Amino acid sequence: MAFVQNVPFLCIMVSMVSAVISSMVPARIARWWTVFLSALVAALNVWLLTFLLQTNESYTYMMGHFPAPWGNELRVGILEALMTIVFSITILASALGGMDKQQSQISRPKQNLFSVMLDLILAGMISMLYTNDLFTGYVFIEIMTLASCVLIMARQNGRTMVSATRYMIMSLLGSGLITIAITITYSLTGHLLMENIHESMAALHASGEYEVPITVVVGLFFVGIGIKSALFPFHTWLADAYSYSTPSASSILSSVVSKTYIFLLIKILYRTIGFEIIQENRVLQIMFVFGIVAMMAGSIDAIGSNDLRRMCAFSSVAQIGYIYAGMGLKLEAGFVAALYHMLVHSLAKSSMFIAASALSDVSGDSKRFSDLRGAGYRHKMAGVCFSVSAMSIVGIPPLGGFISKLYFGQAAFAYGGAHQWIMLLALAVSSLLNVLYFMRTVITLYRPPRSDFQLPEHRPSRRADIAMCMMTAANLLAGFLAQPIVDLISRGLAMFV
């Protein structure tokens, strides 16, 4: 085994150990260590991705000395490495961009704890992307859930405490459903490793037995992870959690945490249950309907918002709907479009929350649109960053959002029938709704300020400016390099089985 093949295990262990280190070192060192750790994980996975592209084969990594089915395994492929690179870069930019706010909004005794939770989220993200074991996936779901709650309430005030409590209640409900799904799966197959479950599920499907329990398992996984990823109508916790937490927390929750849950669901559907089975499963019809409704409902809620960060939060509901609708098409093209949209939205939304915080700072620490007039002039980098992210989500060519909607449309044409027209109509209407609230916001940022507006004293954050430059460049690259990225996603999906 080449040394590079140890990268997933090393990244997980280094992140877990870093959480312990961050609890003991000074807060300033802990903050910078998280940034360095994210960069290290991204660099190591670039190395790993290069190796996988050369071999063009996935591999399993045995944890400890116990082989399957008793031991635990990691499954390493192109898609997992690509997702880890993008998500770790997002965590890096989010931690760097919100570093100054973290110092001012979080009390000194809790600043180390915040860095510990960021390290744990990084460890949970890597583990859930690479795991080949359902129970290990569940363990890190819970670690990520608890860490996310701490991130929300780190900025301790009444609103964040209530938001974290609502998030915890909904997440525990989702965790319970996932636990039941894993229990039924284990009862049916006698396995927890995904490949072994896949073989057993294929045999059960071929025999025609247990069709109803298999459908129930798919439904439980869908609803459980749908709750955790804020799919409509399970999104009620989202707006407050994203609006009142620190910029770093909002950015990471919307860009990494929710997408990691969805990626785990794709692994469960594609690799564990089996693509052949889910193509015939009625649950994905329901997933398609929920996704279509979310595309509309999230945008309508965003239009009605008079708060910048709240509008960005409701926008996430609509974009998550795109992902679920794409998976609901039950075609490989739909999953490819959904995965590419996950990457595009992660980059766009993380930069949007960092930019929104900077725009609020130069508007008297206000998130109301009436106070944000002229903010694009007062903070030029934040205005450009927010505008590029907004145009990507709206679907302005050649940015990534336009490319992902194009792939969703192609998947709908490939599926045909009523799904084709429903998906195309939803894409058109949702894009129009996106234009209404995002372009309204961008225009507001560049309108002359009110006559009674008094320019507040503000010292711009160089770290936030660097982070916004990074994410703006990443957003542009996601569009310009769309075809190579989609090719990597397609090759990675082919390695899933």
- Examine the domain organization and report whether 345 and 264 are in the same domain: no
Q: Domain end: 221, 251, 281, which one?
A: 281
Res 73: pLDDT: 82
- Examine the domain organization and report whether 302 and 389 are in the same domain: yes
Per the structure, the count of domains in the chain is 2
Res 340: pLDDT: 92
- Examine the domain organization and report whether 315 and 234 are in the same domain: no
pLDDT tens per residue, range 31-45? 888 889 999 999 999
Q: Mean pLDDT, consecutive 10-residue segments, the chain of 497 residues?
A: 85 90 86 89 92 87 70 84 91 84 75 86 90 86 86 75 81 88 87 83 80 85 87 78 80 86 88 80 83 87 80 85 87 87 88 84 73 79 86 84 87 82 87 84 80 66 83 86 88 80
Residue 337, exposed/middle/buried by CB under 10 A (0-12, 13-18, 19+)?
buried
- Examine the domain organization and report whether 159 and 218 are in the same domain: yes
Res 65: pLDDT: 67
What pairs with residue 62 in β-bridges? Answer: 73
- Examine the domain organization and report whether 382 and 239 are in the same domain: no
Closest C-alpha among 10, 197, 31, 189 to residue 110: 31
Which of 256-287 are b and which e, b meaning 16 or more Cβ less than 10 Å from the residue's Cβ? bbbbbbbbbbbbbbbbbbbbebbeebebbebb
- Examine the domain organization and report whether 193 and 156 are in the same domain: yes
Res 463: pLDDT: 81
- Examine the domain organization and report whether 192 and 327 are in the same domain: no
Q: What secondary structure, in 3-state letters, does the chain show?
A: CCHHHHHHHHHHHHHHHHHHHHCCCCHHHHHHHHHHHHHHHHHHHHHHHHHHHHHCCCEEEEECCCCCCCCEEEEECHHHHHHHHHHHHHHHHHHHHCHHHHHHHCCHHHHHHHHHHHHHHHHHHHHHHHECEHHHHHHHHHHHHHHHHHHHHCCCCHHHHHHHHHHHHHHHHHHHHHHHHHHHHHHHHCCCEHHHHHHHHHHHHHHCCCHHHHHHHHHHHHHHHHHHCCCCCCCCCHHHHHHHCCHHHHHHHHHHHHHHHHHHHHHHHHHHHHHHHHHCCCHHHHHHHHHHHHHHHHHHHHHCCCEHHHHHHHHHHHHHHHHHHHHHCCCHHHHHHHHHHHHHHHHHHHHHHHHHHHHHHCCCCCCECCCCCCHHHHCHHHHHHHHHHHHHHHCCCCCHHHHHHHHHHHHHHHHCHHHHHHHHHHHHHHHHHHHHHHHHHHHHHCCCCCCCCCCCCCCCCHHHHHHHHHHHHHHHHHHHCHHHHHHHHHHHHHCCC
Res 41: pLDDT: 92
The gap between the terminal CA atoms of the chain, to the nearest Å, is 21
- Examine the domain organization and report whether 492 and 459 are in the same domain: yes
Q: Domain end: 260, 281, 302, which one?
A: 281
Q: Domain end: 250, 281, 312, which one?
A: 281
pLDDT tens per residue, range 311-343? 888 888 888 889 998 888 878 888 899 999 999
Res 1: pLDDT: 73
Distances in Å between the alpha carbon of 125 and those of 130, 189, 251? 9, 27, 15
- Examine the domain organization and report whether 84 and 125 are in the same domain: yes
- Examine the domain organization and report whether 179 and 158 are in the same domain: yes
- Examine the domain organization and report whether 76 and 102 are in the same domain: yes
72-76 and 59-63: which strand pairing? antiparallel
Contact 217, 185 (CB under 8 A): yes
- Examine the domain organization and report whether 228 and 301 are in the same domain: no
To which residue do tokens 């479009």 refer?
337
Which domain covers residue 305, as residue numbers?
Answer: 287-497
